[in-house]
Amino acid sequence: MNLSPNDPSSPAASDDVNVTEGYPSVNATSYSTTTGIEDPQGQNVVASFFRTEVSAGPLPHPELLKGYDQIIKDGAERIMRMAEKEQDNRFEERSETRKANLEISRDKLKIMKRGQIFGFVLSLVILGLATLFVFTGHEIVSYGLFTIGAASLVGIFVSNSHESKKTEKQ
């Protein structure tokens, strides 16, 4: 068996391996060399050396960048510009997402405040009607309206505190 690093069928040949499929920013390069060495007693000993380099991040390993420069004119510079454009694009996208989320939150807050105001006004109208019915001698109707008015006022404040707690948990 030939254990030469130059033989492509040999397990000792150099391999470039993408260690995480779907993540092109993580690269591993493995180098393996196997050599026959003669020891002092005159016997052949097989020695194997193995080295792996791993780079992670948006840019390839510096040695790979040098290789791109050899293949493509200004290849490393083009890769650097591409990485910078991608980073700028990500920052811009995140900024737009934050602005949109802030606008949605403000709209929800406006709707909640408007609902509370309408609920409060409606409760006051019901309580006013109940008071009017008390003075006109319709006590049974006024008790019902007082109950509805009080329940709606309590409901407004309870739902408000419930929403506040839910928001705090998030």
Rounded Cα–Cα distance for residues 134 and 111 (Å) = 35
For residue 107, pLDDT over 50 is answered with yes
Q: What are the Cα distances from residue 19, in Å, to 9, 22, 66?
A: 21, 9, 21
Digit-coded pLDDT (tens) for 21-74: 444 455 555 656 666 666 677 666 666 667 777 777 778 878 888 888 888 888
User: CA-CA distance, 39 to 103, in Å (whole number)?
Assistant: 76
| String of DSSP letters for 44-94 | EEEEEEEEEEEEESSS--HHHHHHHHHHSTTHHHHHHHHHHHHHHHHHHHH
Asked whether 142 and 130 are in contact (CB, 8 A), the reply is yes
- The pLDDT-based confidence of 81 (bands split at 50, 70, 90) is very high
Query: 111-124: per-residue pLDDT in tens?
Result: 988 988 887 888 88
Q: Are strands 26-38 and 44-56 parallel, antiparallel or unpaired?
A: antiparallel
Averaged pLDDT of the chain: 75
Which run of H or E residues covers position 15? strand 15-17
- DSSP secondary structure code for residue 36 in this structure: E
Helix or strand holding residue 141 (H, E): helix 139-169
